[in-house]
């Protein structure tokens, strides 16, 4: 069994921590003992325009329940003054996970010029400007800490796949690139910069999109066969917690890390004890066009 990560005494900030991967990352950092500042737009008093019920207060409570200390701060990461307020409450920072997104309800399939332009521009602002503002305000705090870690959360480990449409693909490719460029900016420091991606995520949004819950998620495989290789957000969160606790993590500086690569490196499991390997599934099933219904998915998880 792999050893559990130990982040006792470490201070982390997770942007976009209201739900999905951001929430799970915050909780898993907390489970490893970290104090985690969680930022997002939806509070118990005020919802974001996405309109979901999850709140940053709930995320902070889950962090504390897991064994860390969760601190919720409402923040719209596209608004510099909001991020100034977020940063002003953090004296030291060991780990920054930049996960802000807020574009799930803006995604449209097909050709860019046939989409609503304002929706596409808003996706760009939510997915790119938010990261730039967060980095500009929070990196000065992080670089003061010896051996810090910054993680840019994206979708996909390289540019081989086509992701949904032009805007979505460009957003995620840009964020993936941020990790590489940050590594160059940080070359004279001890801070490690990476980008990182989950696999086929069973977030709250994706479960609802497929009409299932976490309890019966396998029912969606009949409609979406590749969902057989899906993973909970906690799988990705556990990978990043292990990375943050790794004293030799600088060997990954400037790279894009995936949940499956982190699993192969650190040996952790998803909540159900499995180890879904989307990378292997993609190479051996998706890419060659193998009918997934003919494949024993258990061999890939």
Question: In which residue are the tokens 């953090």 written?
Answer: 90
3-class SS at 192?
strand
Residues 261-289: b if buried by 16+ CB within 10 A, e if exposed: bbbebbebbbeeebbbbbbebbeebeeee
Spatial separation of the C-alpha atoms in residues 241 and 258, rounded to whole Å = 13
Residue 255, domain member (yes or no):
yes
Spatial separation of the C-alpha atoms in residues 85 and 127, rounded to whole Å = 20
Residue 189, domain member (yes or no):
yes
Q: Is the pLDDT of residue 120 over 80?
A: yes
Please, which residues bridge with residue 150 across strands? 96, 193
What does the pLDDT look like over 28-81, one tens digit per residue? 999 999 999 999 988 888 888 787 888 999 999 999 999 999 999 999 999 999
- Which residue has better confidence, 250 or 114? 250
Rounded to the nearest integer, the mean pLDDT of the chain is 94
Q: Is the pLDDT of residue 166 over 70?
A: yes
3-class SS at 49?
coil
Tell me what pLDDT residue 253 has. Answer: 98
The total domain count for the chain is 1
Query: Which pLDDT band, with edges at 50, 70 and 90, does 1 fall under?
Result: low
Nearest Cα to 157, choosing from 120, 130, 185, 194? Answer: 194
* Percent of the chain's residues with pLDDT above 90: 85
List the domain range (segments joined by +) for residue 39.
11-200+233-270
Instruction: Specify the pTM.
Output: 0.95
Spatial separation of the C-alpha atoms in residues 150 and 55, rounded to whole Å = 24
Nearest Cα to 296, choosing from 220, 215, 229, 230? Answer: 229
Residue 75, domain member (yes or no):
yes
Tell me what pLDDT residue 54 has. Answer: 87
Chain-centroid distance of CA 24 in Å reads 8
Residue 133, domain member (yes or no):
yes
Task: For the beta carbon of residue 125, count every other beta carbon within 10 angstroms.
Answer: 15
Residue 287, domain member (yes or no):
no
Task: For the beta carbon of residue 89, count every other beta carbon within 10 angstroms.
Answer: 12
- How many CA atoms, within 13 angstroms, populate the side-chain half-sphere of residue 25? 33
Residue 282, domain member (yes or no):
no
Instruction: Name residues whose C-beta falls within 8 Å of residue 138's C-beta, 6 or more positions apart in sequence.
Output: 13, 83, 86, 87, 90, 93, 96
Q: Is the pLDDT of residue 160 over 90?
A: no
In which order are the strands placed within the sheet that holds 95-98? 69-74, 35-40, 11-15, 95-98, 149-153, 192-197, 256-258
Residue 179, domain member (yes or no):
yes
Q: Is the pLDDT of residue 18 over 90?
A: yes
What does the pLDDT look like over 76-109, one tens digit per residue? 999 999 999 999 999 999 999 999 997 777 888 8
Residue 129, domain member (yes or no):
yes
What does the pLDDT look like over 169-223, one tens digit per residue? 999 999 999 999 999 999 999 999 999 999 999 999 889 989 999 999 999 999 9
Tell me what pLDDT residue 48 has. Answer: 80
Task: For the beta carbon of residue 128, count every other beta carbon within 10 angstroms.
Answer: 19
CATH number of the domain within which 119 lies? 3.40.50.720
For residues 269-285, give the mean pLDDT. Answer: 96
């Amino acid at each position: 069994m792999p050893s559990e990560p130990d982040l006792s005494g470490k201070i982390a900030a997770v942007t976009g921590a209201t739900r999905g991967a951001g929430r799970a990352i915050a909780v898993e950092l907390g489970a490893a003992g970290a104090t985690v500042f969680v930022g997002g737009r939806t509070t118990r008093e005020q919802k974001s325009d996405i309109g979901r019920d999850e709140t940053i207060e709930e995320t902070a409570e889950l962090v504390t329940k897991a064994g860390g200390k969760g601190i919720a701060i409402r923040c719209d990461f596209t608004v510099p003054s909001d991020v100034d307020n977020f940063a002003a409450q953090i004296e030291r920072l060991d780990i920054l996970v930049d996960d802000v997104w807020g574009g799930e309800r803006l995604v449209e399939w097909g050709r860019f010029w046939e989409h609503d332009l304002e929706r596409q521009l808003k996706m760009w602002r939510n997915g790119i400007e938010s990261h730039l503002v967060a980095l500009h305000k929070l990196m000065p705090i992080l670089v003061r800490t010896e051996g810090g870690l910054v993680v840019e959360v994206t979708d996909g480990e390289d540019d081989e796949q086509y992701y949904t449409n032009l805007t979505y693909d460009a957003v995620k490719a840009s964020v993936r690139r941020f990790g590489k460029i940050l590594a160059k900016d940080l070359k004279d420091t001890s801070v490690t910069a990476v980008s990182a991606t989950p696999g086929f995520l069973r977030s709250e949004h994706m479960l609802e999109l497929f009409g299932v819950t976490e309890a019966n998620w396998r029912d969606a495989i009949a409609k979406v066969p590749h969902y057989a290789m899906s993973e909970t957000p906690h799988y990705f969160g556990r990978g990043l917690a292990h990375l943050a606790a790794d004293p030799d993590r600088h060997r990954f500086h400037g790279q894009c890390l995936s949940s499956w690569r982190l699993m192969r490196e650190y040996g952790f499991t998803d909540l159900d004890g499995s180890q879904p390997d989307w990378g292997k599934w993609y190479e051996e099933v998706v890419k060659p066009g193998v009918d997934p219904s003919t494949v024993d998915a258990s061999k890939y998880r």
